[in-house]
Chain A
Amino acid sequence: DQQVKQNSPSLSVQEGRISILNCDYTNSMFDYFLWYKKYPAEGPTFLISISSIKDKNEDGRFTVFLNKSAKHLSLHIVPSQPGDSAVYFCAASSSGGSNYKLTFGKGTLLTVNP
């Protein structure tokens, strides 16, 4: 049973436009959400996070939105740049769980075309 779902395996966007990556979760115990970016031949790197007490968190060109009632979060990248081309993983965790782990989605490959 996949608890974190990224239903779009890939997304292609023009440089300068907005990229929107989506993530859905099923476990209502999740209260902390993160986005990671991964380039080929490298480990994932942390991008941005959001706690369940917020519905928005912004860091430069990156904004994460959380809709708890819909169990949905999204990452907005504005404006998109060719260097943003990477695989983006959504991850979730529960601070009250006995196994403090991150549960990852399968990832979305973002391609930003010049």
Chain B
Amino acid sequence: EAQVTQNPRYLITVTGKKLTVTCSQNMNHEYMSWYRQDPGLGLRQIYYSMNVEVTDKGDVPEGYKVSRKEKRNFPLILESPSPNQTSLYFCASSSAAYNEQFFGPGTRLTVL
């Protein structure tokens, strides 16, 4: 089954404790992206990757890092999480950058 998986689905952590949210897709897609969804703000892009070892900032990259060492994986790293990063995070992938994107189920992160 073609899918985008994210782990963990739910995470409660404390300020400053480094965390990684994993994202994996099995569709051999070149393009992957991370979004956050906040009430009243819709979906905003954090980072995207056009291919292995090619990443770039989206609209709200501050406080986040990403890496793309393999085509299928695109982890999101929060080196020092802060409460304003409490949000619902979605990973997405597509065969081309502006084609329809397939989204993962989401990771709800709470930073205390």
The reply to whether A46 and B100 form a contact with Cβ atoms under 8 Å apart is yes
Q: Contact: B44 with A100, CB < 8 Å?
A: no
Tell me whether A102 and B40 are in contact in the complex, defined as CB-CB below 8 angstroms, given that A41-B106, A43-B4 are known contacts: no
Which B residues, 82 to 112, have Cβ-Cβ distances below 8 Å to chain A? 90, 92, 96-98, 100-106
Q: How far is the CB of A34 from chain B (nearest CB, A)?
A: 6
Distance (whole angstroms) from the CB of B14 to the closest CB of chain A: 25
How many residues on B have C-beta within 8 angstroms of the other chain's C-beta atoms?
27
Report the separation of the CA atoms of residues A93 and B43 in the bound assembly, to the nearest whole angstrom: 14
Instruction: Please determine whether A106 and B48 come into contact, CB atoms closer than 8 angstroms.
Output: no
A26 to chain B, nearest CB (A): 15
| Interchain CB contact under 8 A, B42 and A46 | no
What DSSP secondary structure best describes chain A's contact surface? loop
Q: State the main secondary structure of chain B at its contact with A.
A: strand
From A46, A91, A101, contact of B48 by CB (8 A) = A101
Min CB gap B6→A, angstroms: 8
- Picked from A34, A44, A104, the residue with its CB within 8 Å of the CB of B44 is A104
Interface residues of A in 37-56 (CB under 8 A from B): 41-46, 49
Given known A-B contacts A42-B105, A43-B103, A106-B42, A100 and B4 have beta carbons under 8 A apart: no
Given contacts A93-B98, A99-B56, A101-B33, contact A43 B105 (CB under 8 A): yes
Residue of B nearest to A9 (CB): B40
Q: Which residues of A contact B58 (CB under 8 A)?
A: 99, 101
Assess whether B50 is interfacial by the CB under 8 Å rule.
Answer: yes
Given A43-B4, A89-B42, A106-B42; A100-B103 close (CB under 8 Å): no
| Residues of chain B contacted by A32 (CB below 8 angstroms) | 98
B7: chain A residues at CB < 8 Å are: none
Known: A42-B105, A102-B45. 13 other contacts (CB 8 A): A43-B92, A44-B43, A46-B101, A89-B42, A93-B97, A99-B48, A100-B48, A100-B96, A101-B45, A102-B33, A103-B45, A104-B35, A106-B41
